[in-house]
């Protein structure tokens, strides 16, 4: 039996890839339904509105881009594993750095003076997804005895805020911050506050 929801999301991803930047506002329920080979009424059974469909597509893309990597591998220093996972929230390379403009634009539309309700809902969902993933990484380190005794919720907020600050620093006009430096700074924060220095997995010095 086909996974209809998965087929709809894949059809939407394909259309967004074709539309590029215009896809953010031009994702049509009828177009997605046609690409998936179903009727619009069937699509609405899974996604009642265009906003619900787009939010599901964005969340799906988030999960495809942010994985657990080696976080469970206790043979790798805890700081290295956690920093490696967190670095997925930064651009993968210097060529992708301009994509941060879309991230900032989402914040502007969701929380700016002319904020949009749907955009605010989408941003709230994405922030929750990011926090949930970081908290899961910290929970695993906690189970392994590798997490600092700072409090998981506090560390989740600290680390996600650090990532946001580094992204803003990379995007700022005239910024001299390189992606390599941003990654290094993130590692410094992880080693300083998030991993245990006595017992359990030790942070590496590299």
Position 63 scores a pLDDT of 87
User: CA-CA distance, 91 to 122, in Å (whole number)?
Assistant: 21
User: CA-CA distance, 31 to 16, in Å (whole number)?
Assistant: 11
Percent of the chain with pLDDT over 70: 91
CB 180 within 8 A of CB 92: no
Mean pLDDT of the chain: 87
pTM: 0.81
pLDDT digits 0-9 by tens, 137-193: 999 999 999 999 989 999 999 999 999 999 999 999 999 999 999 999 999 999 999
User: CA-CA distance, 14 to 36, in Å (whole number)?
Assistant: 10
What does the longest C-alpha to C-alpha distance in the chain come to?
60
Tell me the pLDDT band of 197, cut-offs 50, 70 and 90.
confident
Percent of the chain with pLDDT over 90: 59
Tell me the pLDDT band of 1, cut-offs 50, 70 and 90.
low
Domain segments of the chain: what residues? 4-62, 69-194
Q: What class has domain 4-62?
A: mainly alpha
Position 198 scores a pLDDT of 55
CB 132 within 8 A of CB 62: no
Lowest mean pLDDT among 55-59, 124-128, 196-200: 196-200
Region 69-194: CATH code: 1.10.357.10
């Amino acid at each position: 039996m086909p996974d209809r929801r998965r087929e709809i999301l894949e059809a939407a991803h394909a259309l967004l890839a074709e539309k590029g930047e215009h896809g953010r506002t031009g994702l049509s329920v009828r177009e997605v339904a046609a690409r998936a080979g179903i009727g619009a009424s069937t699509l609405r059974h899974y996604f009642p509105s265009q906003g619900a469909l787009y939010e599901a597509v964005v969340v799906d893309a988030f999960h495809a881009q942010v994985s657990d990597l080696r976080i469970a591998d206790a043979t790798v220093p805890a700081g290295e594993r956690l920093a490696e996972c967190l670095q997925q929230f930064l651009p993968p390379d210097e060529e992708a750095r301009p994509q941060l403009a879309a991230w900032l634009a989402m914040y502007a539309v969701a929380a700016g003076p002319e904020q949009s309700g749907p955009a605010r809902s989408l941003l709230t969902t994405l922030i929750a997804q990011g926090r949930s993933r970081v908290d899961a990484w910290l929970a695993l380190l906690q189970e392994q005895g590798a997490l600092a005794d700072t409090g998981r919720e506090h560390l989740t907020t600290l680390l996600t805020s650090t990532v946001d600050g580094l992204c803003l620093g990379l995007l700022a006009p005239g910024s001299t911050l390189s992606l390599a430096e941003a990654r290094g700074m993130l590692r410094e924060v992880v080693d300083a506050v998030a991993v245990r220095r006595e017992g359990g997995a030790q942070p590496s010095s590299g």
